[in-house]
A and B are shown apart, each in its own frame.
Chain A
């Protein structure tokens, strides 16, 4: 792995605890938000998405919350497991040209057994 690089915020949690990963976005016109999980040696994997007309969406062990007032997105993982250890990215599609995805810098989640 890289020894020098982008400084990622790190969240360290105990196995079995709940995790909350946060993301701030800047484009108030963003229509759609996605959370991705990236494990070492793999590409980003889609976890869950939410549209701007919703404020909460639940999946299996994951919940995404959207607060448009403060432009904040969070990913909650229930009963965190060692297999959840990865880097988590939020991404948004705004009302910009081409409706391209814009990615955040990521948060590293470390799960302690």
Chain B
């Protein structure tokens, strides 16, 4: 148990569907992150939220829309995705982005785009 829970664990969707990924952390952290891990690239940072405010958008296409209603919950809304978006999407949390402390990861959502 890492303290970071992601749902669903697996998701298969068509390119025209709308779905959302959910992340919840029980560690009392202030920062939350979305990463993409695909078979062909190292771990890629997508978004960073600090105290519910987005502080980093790493040139992510607008078909990915994050939402952070509070410091414990993070969503990634998906719309009109492409086959190359198939990947493992990982959520992480940390004390805050600038602190020299580790990020703690969930087990990810395996996303497959048909």
Contacts and interface: CB of A to CB of B under 8 A. Distances in A.
A4 B39 CA distance: 7
Most buried by B among A6, A44, A46, A98: A44
A43 B106 contact: yes
Interface stretch (B13-21, B67-75, B95-103): B95-103
Given A5-B40, A6-B42, A99-B97, A46 B102 contact: yes
A32 B97 CA distance: 13
B80 interface: no
Interface in A26-45: 31-32, 34, 36, 41-45
Contact of B97 (A36, A43, A98): A98
Given A2-B39, A44-B90, A51-B100, 11 more contacts: A5-B39, A6-B39, A6-B42, A32-B100, A42-B107, A43-B2, A43-B106, A46-B104, A98-B97, A99-B98, A100-B48
Name the prevailing secondary structure of the B interface residues: loop
B43 A89 contact: yes
Nearest to A42: B107
A83 to B, nearest CB: 17
A104 B41 CA distance: 10
B60 to A, nearest CB: 14
Closest 10 CB pairs of A and B: A5-B39, A43-B105, A2-B39, A32-B100, A103-B43, A46-B102, A43-B107, A99-B98, A105-B42, A44-B105
Interface in A68-111: 89, 93, 98-101, 103-106
A99 B31 CA distance: 12
Contact of A34 (B40, B97, B98, B102): B102
Contacts of B105: 36, 43-45
Nearest to A104: B42
7 contacts: A34-B102, A43-B6, A45-B105, A93-B100, A98-B56, A100-B45, A106-B42
A93 B100 CA distance: 7
